[in-house]
Amino acid sequence: MHWIWLIIVGAIVGALGRLFHPGPDPMGWIVTIVLGIVSLIVGGLIAGGFWGFVIGVVIAVILTAIYGRVMATRSPRTV
């Protein structure tokens, strides 16, 4: 049951990270959930409870910006 809550809250944190990051985000909902889960894990390691959630949202904004920059600089592959 813990994994289900982690996925749900990770989706919320990832969505908040995308909301607070200005500009277009070239990612789907699965990447959003993964970034949210990673942000929650790091935020939970730094602080617990409410502050872990807040730190997780801040980290999600940072990861969304990094992911957007990396994917924007990649050239499309042609076959």
Q: How confident is the model at residue 76 (pLDDT cuts 50, 70, 90)?
A: low
Q: What pLDDT is attached to residue 2? A: 85
Question: Which residues have a Cβ under 8 Å from the Cβ of 43 and sit 6 or more positions away?
Answer: 51, 52, 53, 54, 55, 56, 57, 58, 59
Domain ranges of the chain: 2-72
Give mean pLDDT, residues 28-40. Answer: 92
Looking at every residue in the chain, the average pLDDT score rounds to 87
Determine the residue type at 18.
R
**Quick one: pLDDT at residue 46?**
93
Q: Could you tell me the pTM of the whole model?
A: 0.82
**Tens-place pLDDT, residues 9-22:** 999 999 999 999 88
